Structure 1
Amino acid sequence: MRRHCSMRASLFAAALIAFAAPLPAAERGAPLTAEEFDAATVGRTLFYNSGGEPYGVEQYLPGRRVIWAFLGDDCRKGRWYEEGSEICFVYEDNPEPQCWTFWDGDEGLVARFRGDPLGLPLIAVEESPEPMACLGPNVGV
């Protein structure tokens, strides 16, 4: 019994240390508001990396509309909205909101997924004013 309690105390202490760790420099300061996020993204196509590896691309359109594609995957149309300090996305193939907190970081726009405080953030490493090149049926029709 004593061993079980000390193990639980160790796990609790490790959890406290993990949550007390300072945020990376790219995530210090207030998250972007909806107005700031819109100003930073509308009319642009952003290419995101995670852990230094290509992750996906999103085109930001007027009216809070977006087109997203994971690297090598089909494009998905969606929209975004503000929920508290997060920006939430809903896509045509998934009605479940995908909520993120965005910061203007040293390396580019930084996004951290809701409920994943220790996971790798997405970082916008490249920007283009050109629309995405989406593959699939009815392209160019």
Structure 2
Amino acid sequence: MRRFLIPLLVAAALPAAAAPLDPASFEALSEGNTLRFATRDGALFGSEQYFPGRRSLWQHPDGSCAEGYWWPEGNDICFSYGPGSERECWSFESGPNGIAVRLIESSDGVRAGQLVIDLAGIDKTPLDCPAPDVGT
């Protein structure tokens, strides 16, 4: 019996693998909330407020804002922020340390697969985005 116990203890000590959030889980997490994102070193990456109909409002760390919308592609969540903007697709992955967000596809192609940020907070506080800065 003892020889079976050691592999079980080792397996229990290993961190659980990250599992992607499916689009329905992402929608349930985000709609009606503001999600705050941070880089791995803790710096603010930006915040996004989510509305019904898969609409969103992104706020950069400098306070500038952009209206957008999201849609699912498989388990990835893709975003666009108005006419002329390219899409960006992200994988939201739930793991033992919370939710990590990995850039899967971007218009510049440089950061795709290299950029990972963390979901640092969720609240219901509306973003402070003056009307002229949010687009049309």
- The 8 Å contact of residues 38 and 45 in structure 2, kept in 1 or not, is answered as yes
- Give runs of ≥4 in structure 1 deviating > 2 Å: 104-109, 135-139
**Partner residue in 2 for 1:127:** 122
Count of aligned pairs between the two proteins: 113
Query: For residues 13-34 of structure 1, what are the alpha-carbon distances to aligned partners after superposition, in whole Å with 9 as ceiling and x for unaligned?
Result: xxxxxxxxxxxx58x3431111
- Aligned CA RMSD, in angstroms, stands at 2.3
Shift of 1:122: 1.4
Instruction: Please give the residue correspondences for 1:85-104 in structure 2 after superposition, counting only pairs within 5 Å.
Output: 85-92=75-82, 94-104=84-94
Consecutive unaligned residues in structure 2, runs of 5 or more: 1-14, 106-111
Unaligned runs of 5+ in 1: 1-24
Distance across 1 between alignment mates of 2:67 and 2:133:
15
Shift of 1:94: 4.2
Task: For residue 126 of structure 2, give the secondary structure of its aligned residue in structure 1.
Answer: coil
For residue 35 of structure 1, what is the aligned residue in structure 2? 24
**TM-score when scaled to structure 2?**
0.72
CA contact (8 A) 1:76 1:93 kept: no
Worse overlay, 65-74 or 87-96: 87-96
Q: Which position in structure 2 is the counterpart of 1:11?
A: none
Gap change, CA 1:83 and 1:71, over 3 Å in 2:
same
CA distance in 1, matches of 2:122, 2:87: 24
Distance 1:122-1:36 versus aligned 2 partners, 3 A rule = same
Query: Which residue does 1:3 correspond to in 2?
Result: none
**1:109 equivalent in alignment to 2:110:** no
Shift of residue 93, structure 1, vs aligned partner: 5.2
Matched to 1:130, the amino acid is T
CA contact (8 A) 1:107 1:125 kept: no
User: Structure 1 106/100 Cα, relative in aligned 2: closer, same or farther at 3 Å?
Assistant: same
Q: What TM-score comes out, normalization by structure 1 length?
A: 0.70
Q: What CA deviation, in whole Å up to 9, does each residue of 1:34-76 have, x standing for no partner?
A: 1010011111101110122111000011111110011014111
Tell me, yes or no, if structure 1 residue 50 matches structure 2 residue 45: no
